[in-house]
Amino acid sequence: MDRSAWYWLGGLTVLIVVAVVLATWRHPTRFPEDTPEGVVQRYLDAVFEGDAAAATEWWSAELAGTDCSRLLRDELRFSASSFDRAVLDEVDVDDGRAEVIVVLSPAADPFAGTYEHPATFVLERTDRGWRIVEPPWPVEWCALEPPAEG
Question: Which domains, and CATH codes, for the chain?
Answer: 33-145 (3.10.450.50)
What confidence score (pLDDT) does residue 92 get?
A: 97
CA angle (108 as vertex; 83, 31 as ends), nearest 5: 50
- Model pLDDT for residues 7-60, shown as the tens digit of each residue: 677 766 766 765 555 555 556 789 999 999 999 999 999 988 889 999 999 999
pTM: 0.75
Residue 110 pLDDT > 60, yes or no? Answer: yes
Question: Helix, strand, or coil here: 90?
Answer: strand
For residue 111, give the 3-state DSSP assignment: coil
Distance CA 89, CA 25 (A): 20
117 Cβ contact partners less than 8 Å away, ≥ 6 residues apart? 83, 103, 104, 105, 137
* pLDDT given at position 1: 67
